[in-house]
Amino acid sequence: MSRIHKLDPVVIDQIAAGEVVERPASVVKELVENALDAGATLIEVSLLEGGIRRIEVRDNGCGMAADELPLAVTSHATSKLSAPSDLEAIASLGFRGEALASIASVARMTIVSRPEDASFGMEYQVLYGRPGSLHEASASKGTRFVVEDLFAELPARRKFLKRPATEAAHAQAWVERLALVHEGVGFRLEQDGKRCFEVLPEDDLGQRCAAVFGAGLAKNMVQIQAQADSITCTGHVGPPESARRDARRVHLFLNGRWVRDARLLRAVREGVKEFVPIGHYPTLYLSLQVPPQRVDVNVHPQKTEVRFRDERLVFGTVVRALRQGLAAAPWATRMVGTVGSTVQDRGSFPAPSWQRPQDLSAGLSSPSSREGFFPVPAPHLPMEVAAEDRGKGEFLSVANTFLFRAVAGGVEIIDQHALHERVNLEELRRELRQGQVVTQPLLVPALVDLSREELDLLLQHQDKFRKLGVDIEAFGETTLAIRGIPARLQRLQPEKLVLDLLEIAQSHRQATPDQIQEEMLFSMACRGAVMAGDAVDAEALESLLRRGADLPQDRTCAHGRPVRVFLSLEDLERAFYRR
Ligand code: ADP
Ligand code: MG
């Protein structure tokens, strides 16, 4: 072993670069963020071979003076922080002063910059950490960075780069993220000479969503918003069918910074729980504004992890924004015209109040200037039943699972279990709001053998169960007696219910009483529902459809799977090649 010595500054930067510069996309991110911090309103990015060969970022921001250029690429040099107290409330995207030094230590970097008041620009070069010359160059106001041959002198790092197409996709993802959240700034991205992404400075959030998610999806996204204290949460969320198993379509921003925070993602899942299938993530643009002093972004060199001072408040606001927005979305509406016609023609039930798509859009409109940008309804929203359809109330039950029914403009297919589960859930909630779930005493109590520990745990929740309409008590040392179950859940098997509740109690020891109660409601709603494949007589199905028509939301079951699917005539025509 050799003697201890101080590391060479270039090596120090290269080590630091390991944390900041992982791949071309990280360079793009850092350079674009710098341009944003410099007040640019137009940022152009051009890449060759996914950025492995060359990355160019041009901006029309404030520029740098000649004497600032060599300093900018020195580590721990920044114009964004001066006093230690500045760290308490960071308002810029950068602040660590190490991105340029890191990039310059692992590539060939050229900077051309001209501040507004300078009559000419200056060019400065750094080659793998070795400073080059500084000389005059013609330039328009702003800054241009060229970064070439990333990691060419560091084979160990270069071999971790993927194919150019993969690197290109990562880089594009960063440009899109930053373009989404920075309204007022135009972005252009070129890959190997081809324009592949563009938003104009004047493009609003809707147009930015269209550029990132595609126009078709963007127009079906709905706005979300919630506020608590000085925290605001705004955004757009896509319909359930745009959900994915991975979180790639989830874009979370904190004060204009794209973040990836596991706990924040959990809040998102909580907020969309009933609208998106379990294990899926929605298409989401969500922007949080939190006073800078209430959040710490200085947790990780890439600054995508954050710590909130009032975590509960922030997460609660996110959950609320999503729940409220989704509940008002066209896909969460009552079953427009599904059963009412049958019912009305037989004269036995009051006609449901029709809700037209236009009415729905009224409920959705936002107070902002973006009003009307996202037209509703979603394409698969059943239309109002027209007069000539009123007599066609019959449905066809297929495989004792799906109910088919002609409605105006197409065919509606309902999943009997999903609908029943949703009906149960909403009705149980209504009873709870009125006091407690109505209990039906069992003629003969059901007995369940348990361990002493399991019995104890269940008895701890005895009061909660009673509120939920489940009456239990101890029957000896290791036996539980179930004396009553919720009256409206006729199909429930008491023993199964109790074992479910036991499992919830066991797996939610850290959860709040409200969360446990919600989980139990879900489980009861599911257990008390007809299953797929259960033969159910027509009258019972009709009654179920009728109950469904009164729900505040019936688009998805408690687990987020769809209750009903609508096939438009257009869909059918396409399937038969008539279009
Ligand atoms: P940080 O962004 O954390 O301050 P960087 O290493 O990314 O650190 O940049 C160092 C400094 O260089 C910045 O603080 C800023 O003053 C200057 N700078 C970088 N990019 C630009 C740009 N595009 N326009 C104007 N100034 C820039
Ligand atoms: Mg920076």
Q: Which two tokens stand for residue 48?
A: 């060759």
Q: Whose CA is nearest to atom 16 of ligand 1?
A: 79
Question: What would the pLDDT profile of 269-292 be if each residue is shown by its tens digit?
Answer: 999 988 888 788 999 999 999 998
Q: Which ligand 1 atom minimizes the distance to the CA of 97?
A: 8
Sign of CA dihedral 37, 39, 42, 44: negative
pLDDT of the residue at 96? 79
138-142, 331-335, 471-475, 487-491: lowest mean pLDDT where? 331-335
CATH number at residue 45: 3.30.565.10
Q: Of 311, 332, 353, which closes a domain? A: 332
pLDDT of the residue at 11? 83
Question: What would the pLDDT profile of 439-465 be if each residue is shown by its tens digit?
Answer: 999 989 999 999 999 999 999 999 999
d(CA 217, CA 225): 19
Torsion of CA 260, 261, 266, 267, to 10 degrees: -90
In a domain, 163, yes or no: yes
pLDDT of the residue at 417? 93
Question: What would the pLDDT profile of 296-323 be if each residue is shown by its tens digit?
Answer: 877 777 778 888 888 889 999 999 999 9
In a shared domain, residues 199 and 61? yes
Centroid of ligand 2 to alpha carbon of 420 (angstroms): 54
Q: Does the beta carbon of 97 sit less than 6 angstroms from any atom of ligand 1?
A: yes
Name the domain count of the chain: 3
- Contact in structure between 178 and 29 (CB atoms under 8 Å): yes
pLDDT of the residue at 87? 73
Q: Does the beta carbon of 100 sit less than 6 angstroms from any atom of ligand 1?
A: yes
In a shared domain, residues 197 and 244? no
pLDDT of the residue at 355? 28
348 beta partners: none
With b meaning 16 or more CB within 10 Å and e meaning fewer, what string describes 166-182? ebbebbbbbbbbbbbbb
Centroid of ligand 2 to alpha carbon of 33 (angstroms): 6
Confidence of residue 331 (pLDDT cuts 50, 70, 90): low
Centroid of ligand 1 to alpha carbon of 79 (angstroms): 7
Model's pTM, two decimal places?
A: 0.70
In a domain, 387, yes or no: no
Q: Which ligand 1 atom minimizes the distance to the CA of 81?
A: 4
In a domain, 405, yes or no: no
pLDDT of the residue at 158? 86
Centroid of ligand 1 to alpha carbon of 168 (angstroms): 24
pLDDT of the residue at 343? 29
* Whether the bond into 379 is cis, omega within 30 of 0: no
Long-range CB contacts (within 8 A, 24+) of 120-123: 121/63, 122/65, 122/66, 122/69
Q: Which ligand is nearest to the CA of 16?
A: 1
Centroid of ligand 2 to alpha carbon of 433 (angstroms): 52
Mean local confidence (pLDDT), 250-268? 91
- Structural domain of 257: 207-332
Mean local confidence (pLDDT), 23-40? 96
Q: Does the beta carbon of 99 sit less than 6 angstroms from any atom of ligand 1?
A: yes
Q: Which ligand 1 atom minimizes the distance to the CA of 96?
A: 3
Q: Ligand 1 test: best mutation among 13, 34, 43, 300, most atoms within 8 Å of CB? A: 34
CATH number at residue 294: 3.30.230.10
pLDDT of the residue at 348? 25
Closest listed residue to residue 120, CA positions, set 58, 39, 66, 61:
66
Confidence of residue 122 (pLDDT cuts 50, 70, 90): very high
Q: Whose CA is nearest to atom 8 of ligand 1?
A: 97
Residue with the larger pLDDT of the pair 83 and 371: 83
Q: Which ligand 1 atom minimizes the distance to the CA of 95?
A: 3
Is the pLDDT score of 33 beyond 60?
Answer: yes
In a shared domain, residues 161 and 272? no
For the chain, give the mean pLDDT.
84
Q: Does the beta carbon of 40 sit less than 6 angstroms from any atom of ligand 1?
A: no
Is the pLDDT score of 268 beyond 50?
Answer: yes
In a shared domain, residues 178 and 283? no
In a shared domain, residues 103 and 250? no
Residue 80 to residues 84, 91, 96, 218, 224: CA-CA distances in angstroms?
12, 9, 8, 36, 32
CATH number at residue 501: 3.30.1370.100
Judged by DSSP in three states, 22 sits in: coil
In a shared domain, residues 127 and 238? no
Distant-in-sequence, close-in-space partners of 536: CB < 8 Å, separation ≥ 6: 397, 400, 416, 530, 544
Mean local confidence (pLDDT), 101-105? 93
Q: Which ligand is nearest to the CA of 77?
A: 1
Is the pLDDT score of 396 beyond 50?
Answer: yes
Centroid of ligand 2 to alpha carbon of 18 (angstroms): 16
3-17, 50-64, 78-92, 167-181: lowest mean pLDDT where? 78-92
In a shared domain, residues 51 and 127? yes
Q: Which ligand is nearest to the CA of 99?
A: 1
Is the pLDDT score of 368 beyond 60?
Answer: no
Q: Of 332, 350, 380, which closes a domain? A: 332
In a shared domain, residues 262 and 124? no
Q: Does the beta carbon of 80 sit less than 6 angstroms from any atom of ligand 1?
A: yes
Percentage of the chain beyond pLDDT 70 is 89
Mean local confidence (pLDDT), 237-261? 89
228 beta partners: 231
387-401, 504-518, 539-553: lowest mean pLDDT where? 387-401
Centroid of ligand 1 to alpha carbon of 20 (angstroms): 14
Supply the angle between the helices 262-272 and 311-327 in degrees, to the nearest 10.
30
Q: Does the beta carbon of 69 sit less than 6 angstroms from any atom of ligand 1?
A: no
In a shared domain, residues 221 and 156? no
pLDDT of the residue at 274? 81
Confidence of residue 240 (pLDDT cuts 50, 70, 90): confident
136-150, 183-197, 301-315: lowest mean pLDDT where? 301-315
Q: Of 203, 234, 264, which closes a domain? A: 203
In a shared domain, residues 125 and 229? no
| Chain centroid to CA 258 | 13
Q: Which ligand is nearest to the CA of 62?
A: 1
Q: Which two tokens stand for residue 298?
A: 């200085």
Q: Which two tokens stand for residue 475?
A: 């029957």
Percentage of the chain beyond pLDDT 90 is 50
Is the pLDDT score of 351 beyond 60?
Answer: no
In a domain, 160, yes or no: yes
Question: What would the pLDDT profile of 46-86 be if each residue is shown by its tens digit?
Answer: 999 999 999 999 999 999 999 999 999 998 888 887 777 77
In a domain, 195, yes or no: yes
With b meaning 16 or more CB within 10 Å and e meaning fewer, what string describes 341-359? bbbbeeeeeeebeebebee
Q: Does the beta carbon of 141 sit less than 6 angstroms from any atom of ligand 1?
A: no
Q: Which ligand is nearest to the CA of 57?
A: 1
Q: Does the beta carbon of 340 sit less than 6 angstroms from any atom of ligand 1?
A: no
d(CA 473, CA 319): 36
In a domain, 357, yes or no: no
In a shared domain, residues 475 and 506? yes
Q: Which two tokens stand for residue 144?
A: 């241009």
Closest listed residue to residue 471, CA positions, set 488, 491, 446:
446
Q: Does the beta carbon of 115 sit less than 6 angstroms from any atom of ligand 1?
A: no
Centroid of ligand 2 to alpha carbon of 169 (angstroms): 22
Q: Whose CA is nearest to atom 23 of ligand 1?
A: 35
| Chain centroid to CA 389 | 38
Mean local confidence (pLDDT), 103-123? 95
Mean local confidence (pLDDT), 246-266? 91
In a shared domain, residues 218 and 169? no
